[in-house]
Amino acid sequence: MKGDALGSGGNEDVVRLAAVTKRYGGKSAATTALNDITLSFERGSFTAVMGPSGSGKSTLLHCAAGLARPTAGTVTLDGTDLTSLPERALARIRRERIGFVFQSFNLLPELSAADNVALPLRLSGKHPRRAAVTAALDRVGLAGKRGARPGQLSGGQQQRVAIARALIGSPSVVFADEPTGALDLVTGAEVLGLLGSLVRAARATVVMVTHDPVAASRADRVVFLADGRIAGEMLRPEVDAVAARMAHLADRGQAAAAATARTEPSW
């Protein structure tokens, strides 16, 4: 199906990918990571993106966040076409209108929690107010840890600082790449609950790449990828249903790989 389209339900789209294709490598050995993807993320939504290894999850996130330019198609953020912007303007939008949360936290170890949270504003040439930084930490339950450095915090607390950092500039969208991958089950559930509460309370838009059906079940919607294409979506996902869909996609991928191997020459 050309131009697989998901997510446009009549509400306001914060991020929209239109016919996005991403290839890596030269013409003779190109790899297609995304193949003609059309997908949107509405304001105030929490979407999980899932798929087998190599399905294009990370590439989709990178293109949607302006970290990678698509080979074809367009990506818009609040109506601004990111694919047409020069690199300097694109970097400014990433700093000011997009929040990032990573599996590895990416906190600077020599800075306090407060200074880590304030860093995106400082990089944008702004002078963050102490009250704003404290409020951001308070939203994630860490107002009392302003002066603590990452090494003095648990993994869950470090991820909460990372979420506060992502939110300090009131971004249009927060992209989370395996945000619970380095956390235990209990701490991971707390972080997911926090992300969900931010969506509900502040109409934040969160797009989360994950391999974990439990994590995905905390989202409003799951978008499945396979071989660089959209392989369906699930609204109000439940853990067992998500796990079953992932198992089906994995089996389908293994069957396709086996079929390809049988048709290749043996010499």
Side-chain-side CA neighbours of residue 198 (13 Å): 29
User: CB atoms < 10 A from the CB of 76, how many?
Assistant: 18
Residues 164/136, Cβ–Cβ less than 8 Å: yes
Dump pLDDT digits (tens) for 155-195: 999 999 999 999 888 889 999 999 998 899 899 999 999 88
Dump pLDDT digits (tens) for 198-252: 888 878 899 999 999 999 999 999 999 999 999 999 999 999 999 999 999 988 7
Non-local CB neighbours of 22 within 8 Å, separated by 6+ positions: 32, 33, 34, 56, 59, 63, 68, 70, 71, 228
Residues 199/193, Cβ–Cβ less than 8 Å: no
Dump pLDDT digits (tens) for 96-154: 899 999 988 999 999 999 999 999 888 888 888 899 999 999 989 998 999 999 999 99
Helix, strand, or coil (residue 185)? helix
Rg (CA), the chain: 19
What structural domains does the chain harbor? Answer: 4-262 (3.40.50.300)
Helix, strand, or coil (residue 186)? helix
DSSP 119-182: HHHHHTT----HHHHHHHHHHTT-GGGTT--GGGS-HHHHHHHHHHHHHTT--SEEEEESTTTT
Is the pTM for the entire model greater than 0.85? yes
Q: How confident is the model at residue 256 (pLDDT cuts 50, 70, 90)?
A: low
Starting from the edge strand earliest in sequence, which strands make up the sheet with 13-24, in order?
Answer: 4-6, 31-42, 13-24, 72-77, 80-81
CA distance 215 to 265: 42
Side-chain-side CA neighbours of residue 261 (13 Å): 6
Residues 52/231, Cβ–Cβ less than 8 Å: no
Non-local CB neighbours of 14 within 8 Å, separated by 6+ positions: 41, 42, 43, 77, 78, 172, 173, 205
Token pair belonging to 27: 């013409």
Non-local CB neighbours of 100 within 8 Å, separated by 6+ positions: 65, 106, 166, 174, 175, 176, 177
Nearest to 194 by CA among 169, 164, 217, 234: 164
